[in-house]
Amino acid sequence: MLAQVLTRLGVRRVFGETLPGAEPLDAGVRDAAIAGVLAAADGAVGTGLGVSFDGARLTFTSDPGATDDGDVVTVSNVAGLADAVVDARTRGAGAVTVELGFDTERDRSETVTAPEPGDPSIAARLPAPELASAGDVPLVFDMILAGSGVIRAGAVEALRALADATGLGVLNVFTAKGLFRWDSPYHLGTAGLQLHDFSYAGLAPDRPVLAVGVGRDECPAPVLADAGLSPGRAWPISQIAPDRLASVTGVVRAAHDGPPVLGELYARLSGVAQPLYLVESVPLNPARAAADVAESLPEGGVVTLAPGHAGLWVARTLPTTQLGSVRVPATASPGLALAAAVLFALEGRPVVAVVDELHTPEHDLLLELARSRQLDLVVAVWGSDGDIDSPEHHRALLADAFAQPGVTVLTIPIDYTEPDRLLTDAAGPLAAWQDAI
């Protein structure tokens, strides 16, 4: 019963102590410190709902920043556990800890309300009204704003179909890279990282936007405010659940005729990234390094990152051709990039974690776990150290690292000075992740 209910709630694995009644979901990670770190990564950039068990409490998290202040609920049966998670999802609590006041192997609750969600996340959603009924007149929008919930709900193809049917361009937030190829006519760019992103992308109080699967932390308040947007004032954003996408073709239409019009943001960011991609001097600039990572990534591979200097540049400039190939968190937890890399390595996927440094207790524990499990993963430390003589050498190192077994740590020399200036001039200072950096 317990394993079935947890599965319907969207749980794929449980880290920590063995949970009686849920053995099929056991991730086999017993160390409490590592279990919490891996669960946080699973919720942030993995399955969307990370779960750890300490022997008495189950902690569910989709937002690492909410875990320490999350609710604690005591339940007396499996039905109560399901209700607690559904309630946390409805409220967008980010995290909830459930004290189990019953025998999980013997509970025989007859009525368990555990509706299987399209998106299992319990993170807070963007505060926006649901899409109103159109009646006989189609609702007009300037663009679609898409978040990571589209990916978790398996609604990417439905989003692409809606864009194709309506001509609406899609601006994805930074956690949802890869919804469209970088060169798709429907791809309006990646936004939400820098202060002026939404403003330059064309969001404004008088421009109606349809939001799909967007979380609150995926749209930092300063970035919204810079575009003149606030839930307390004129609010042009309506939202729709990802599972409703297929039902609104013919109900919504684009305000423009013809193909989507790229906003100023796309041109500004391309004006920074495209010339940097061509620079081959060493130390590498971060855009060139990101392009090397994308070019070297094996089929089905994943790049993980965390809030920080390297994370900004990977999220901003790594070209995407494979959905899910870059995992960008909305919020952070210690060791997040490496923890996420361990998760994908456990699944047998090629993975590289791009990090600013590798000297925290969490990193040490994660590296020890990866080596003890004989996992194959690459860690690229972008900083002032390292010895490479060209981008070609960088790509060769990456290719060799992906080809060899075990954990490989590469130190890559990066010069951020002039690229940082150019990027800030183009779209303003970093505005995401302010509680994490």
Is the pLDDT higher at 404 or at 114? 404
Distance CA 324, CA 126 (A): 22
Distance CA 220, CA 215 (A): 10
Domain count, the chain: 3
Distance CA 98, CA 102 (A): 11
| Residue after which a domain boundary falls, among 218, 234, 262 | 262
Mean pLDDT of the chain: 93
Q: Where are the beta strands (DSSP E) in 138-281?
A: 139-141, 143-146, 170-173, 187-191, 209-212, 237-240, 252-254
Average pLDDT over residues 51-68: 92
For residue 254, list its beta bridge partners: 141
Average pLDDT over residues 208-229: 96
Nearest to 224 by CA among 30, 341, 214: 214
Question: Is there a contact between 193 and 226 (Cβ–Cβ < 8 Å)?
Answer: no
For residue 353, list its beta bridge partners: 304, 379
Clarify whether residues 422 and 278 are in a common domain. Answer: yes
The two structure tokens encoding residue 172: 């994805």
The two structure tokens encoding residue 292: 């090397």
- Label residue 182 by pLDDT band (50, 70, 90): confident
pLDDT in tens, 96-146: 999 999 888 887 776 676 677 889 999 999 999 999 765 666 899 999 999
The two structure tokens encoding residue 223: 């970035």
The two structure tokens encoding residue 261: 């019009």
Asked if residue 432 belongs to a domain, the reply is no
pLDDT of residue 135: 60
Question: Is there a contact between 125 and 216 (Cβ–Cβ < 8 Å)?
Answer: yes
Pairing of strands 326-327, 302-304: parallel
Nearest to 339 by CA among 67, 19, 8, 34: 34
Asked if residue 119 belongs to a domain, the reply is no
Distance CA 128, CA 169 (A): 20
Clarify whether residues 84 and 172 are in a common domain. Answer: no
Asked if residue 133 belongs to a domain, the reply is no
Clarify whether residues 88 and 54 are in a common domain. Answer: yes
pLDDT of residue 110: 66
Asked if residue 171 belongs to a domain, the reply is yes
Nearest to 380 by CA among 394, 361, 362, 364: 394
Clarify whether residues 303 and 253 are in a common domain. Answer: no
Asked if residue 226 belongs to a domain, the reply is yes
Distance CA 241, CA 146 (A): 11
| Residue after which a domain boundary falls, among 225, 240, 262 | 262
Asked if residue 15 belongs to a domain, the reply is yes
Distance CA 47, CA 10 (A): 8
C-alpha 24: how far from its chain's center? 26
For residue 48, list its beta bridge partners: none
pLDDT in tens, 373-391: 999 999 999 999 999 999 9
Clarify whether residues 278 and 398 are in a common domain. Answer: yes
- Label residue 30 by pLDDT band (50, 70, 90): very high
Distance CA 420, CA 425 (A): 8
Clarify whether residues 232 and 303 are in a common domain. Answer: no
Question: Is there a contact between 289 and 414 (Cβ–Cβ < 8 Å)?
Answer: yes
pLDDT in tens, 238-297: 999 999 998 888 889 999 998 898 889 999 999 999 999 999 999 999 999 999 999 999
Asked if residue 435 belongs to a domain, the reply is no
Q: What is the DSSP annotation of 41-76?
A: HHHHHSSS-EEEE-SSEEEEES-GGGSTT-EEEEES
| Residue after which a domain boundary falls, among 211, 239, 262 | 262
Clarify whether residues 76 and 171 are in a common domain. Answer: no
Question: Is there a contact between 51 and 11 (Cβ–Cβ < 8 Å)?
Answer: yes
pLDDT of residue 134: 57
- Label residue 436 by pLDDT band (50, 70, 90): low
172 in helix, strand or coil? strand
pLDDT of residue 323: 87
Clarify whether residues 44 and 67 are in a common domain. Answer: yes
- Tell me if the pTM is above 0.75: yes
Asked if residue 413 belongs to a domain, the reply is yes
Is the pLDDT higher at 86 or at 108? 86
Clarify whether residues 416 and 300 are in a common domain. Answer: yes
**Peptide bond preceding 20: is omega within 30 degrees of 0, i.e. cis?**
no
Average pLDDT over residues 48-61: 96
Distance CA 388, CA 414 (A): 10
pLDDT of residue 437: 57
Distances in Å between the Cα of 294 and the Cα atoms of 111, 132, 312, 352, 415 are 49, 40, 15, 10, 19
Distance CA 139, CA 123 (A): 28
Distance CA 382, CA 380 (A): 6
Check which CATH number belongs to the domain holding 290 and give it.
3.40.50.970
pLDDT of residue 117: 80
Clarify whether residues 150 and 255 are in a common domain. Answer: yes
Clarify whether residues 275 and 421 are in a common domain. Answer: yes
Range of the domain at 153: 139-262
The amino acid occupying position 106 is R
Clarify whether residues 293 and 420 are in a common domain. Answer: yes
Check which CATH number belongs to the domain holding 193 and give it.
3.40.50.1220
